[in-house]
Amino acid sequence: MTTAAPQPQFRAETDDRGRFVRQASRFRDRVTADGSSGFPAEPGRYHLYVSLACPWAHRTIIVRRLKRLEDVVSMSVVDPVRDERGWAFRPGRGHGPDPVNGFRFLAEAYAATDPTFEGRITVPVLWDRVTGRIVNNESADVIRMLNAEFPGGHDALDLYPAPLRDEIDAINDIVYENVNNGVYRAGFAASQEAYEEAFDALFATLDLLEDRLGGQRWLAGDAFTAADVRLFTTLLRFDPVYVCHFRCNLRRIADSPALSGFLRDVYALPGVAGTVDMDHIKRHYYLTHERLNPLRIVPKGPLLDLDRPAGREHLGPTPPLP
Ligand SMILES: N[C@@H](CCC(=O)N[C@@H](CS)C(=O)NCC(=O)O)C(=O)O
């Protein structure tokens, strides 16, 4: 009997040394307050397609909620479990049909925008009802637009204040490479060497962040910013998913006092807990990556203690949230 060689989860995004190299986001147009980009920030015009499971989409869900843009940018949720047809709109707990276009699969939104697109169909997607196309499918861009361009939100909260931009960009670069995408580089590595490279960079960076957050409340200092939102969505998934599914098991977030305090601090901000769906998160990862978990058994644990007070108020101010 011959056995086929094991294949990486994403062949097209694996280099010759077994490293996971994430595809670039395809749609990068901008919605602007003044409309100069061709996509004016009109209330009711744009729609966010998200998965509650996905850490990248979760950023956009949190920023939409904190900025109180629920009535300005509509949103709908895909089934957390994907098959070979990709993200799908199906009825179920916490997800449902597509209210805008009646699509059955998110792939239809991509095909409507660029019929030649052959990459992975990803969430989040910012859809324009007027032109009938995707404006942007890069979460980093979408949170910036939600923060700054749309009228009618909670303006007192600025997640990307001008004086802190260089600092936020520098933090984001390190956190993206080694933590947000670092867990994926470990999990989708197709060689021991590639896995260890990602693993070492991930835990070295978590050590730096543990130090930093031991002495200050938020990553950029006194202001709660987009950098904190971006770290939060990875930390939230770390102990229940990445430790086991992606083999990121040097230590847990629960073993890191500052990181776990920070995680609970963000979780306790008004509106954030309501964006968290641990069932979607766990079922998505363990049921979808069939090469990592072929038997599709979903671990029952671990116990999470997200509601325990963080007790970090002495480290800095609480953001201006209603
Ligand atoms: N750079 C993108 C990444 C988005 C992304 O990779 N989303 C994942 C879910 S966590 C996805 O949709 N994957 C689809 C697939 O693997 O087929 C962003 O930040 O928006």
For the segment 30-53, what is each residue's pLDDT rounded down to a tens digit? Answer: 999 999 999 999 999 999 999 999
51 Cα nearest atom in ligand 1: 9
pLDDT tens digits for range 63-117: 999 999 999 999 999 999 999 999 999 999 999 999 999 999 999 999 999 999 9
Multiple choice CATH, 46-148, 3.40.50.1820, 3.40.50.2000, 3.40.30.10, 3.90.1300.10: 3.40.30.10
What's the rounded Cα separation, in Å, for the pair 229 and 147?
12
Count CB-CB contacts under 10 A for residue 75.
18
pLDDT tens digits for range 134-179: 999 999 999 999 999 999 999 999 999 999 999 999 999 999 999 9
Which pLDDT belongs to residue 1? 54
CA of 122 to the centre of ligand 1 (A): 4
What's the rounded Cα separation, in Å, for the pair 126 and 139?
9
Cross-sheet strand order for the sheet of 46-50: 74-77, 46-50, 125-128, 133-136
Instruction: State what percent of residues in the chain have pLDDT above 70.
Output: 98
pLDDT tens digits for range 151-163: 999 999 999 999 9
Q: 37-43, long-range: CB within 8 Å, 24+ apart, which pairs?
A: 39/128, 39/131, 39/135, 41/145, 41/149, 41/150, 41/151, 42/130, 43/71, 43/72, 43/150, 43/151, 43/152
User: Which of the listed residues 54, 84, 230 should we mutate to test ligand 1's pocket, taking the one with most ligand atoms within 8 A of CB?
Assistant: 54
Does residue 24 have a pLDDT over 90? Answer: no
54 Cα nearest atom in ligand 1: 10
CATH topology of domain 162-271+303-315: Glutathione S-transferase Yfyf (Class Pi); Chain A, domain 2 (1.20.1050)
142 Cα nearest atom in ligand 1: 20
Indicate the pLDDT class of residue 2, thresholds 50, 70 and 90. low
Q: Which of 49, 184, 242, 285 is catalytic?
A: 184
Which pLDDT belongs to residue 16? 86
Indicate the pLDDT class of residue 6, thresholds 50, 70 and 90. confident
Yes or no: say if 72 and 156 are a contact pair by the CB < 8 Å rule.
no
pTM for this model (two decimals)? 0.96
**Catalytic site includes residue 248:** no
Q: Summarize the confidence of residues 191-214 as an average pLDDT.
A: 98
Q: Summarize the confidence of residues 256-279 as an average pLDDT.
A: 98
Which two structure tokens, joined as six digits, stand for 198?
């990602």
Does residue 7 have a pLDDT over 90? Answer: no
User: Which of the listed residues 14, 22, 27, 56 should we mutate to test ligand 1's pocket, taking the one with most ligand atoms within 8 A of CB?
Assistant: 56
What is the maximum alpha-carbon separation in the chain?
66
**Catalytic site includes residue 244:** no
User: Where do the domains of the chain lie?
Assistant: 46-148, 162-271+303-315
C-alpha distance across the termini of the chain, in Å: 65
Q: Summarize the confidence of residues 201-226 as an average pLDDT.
A: 98
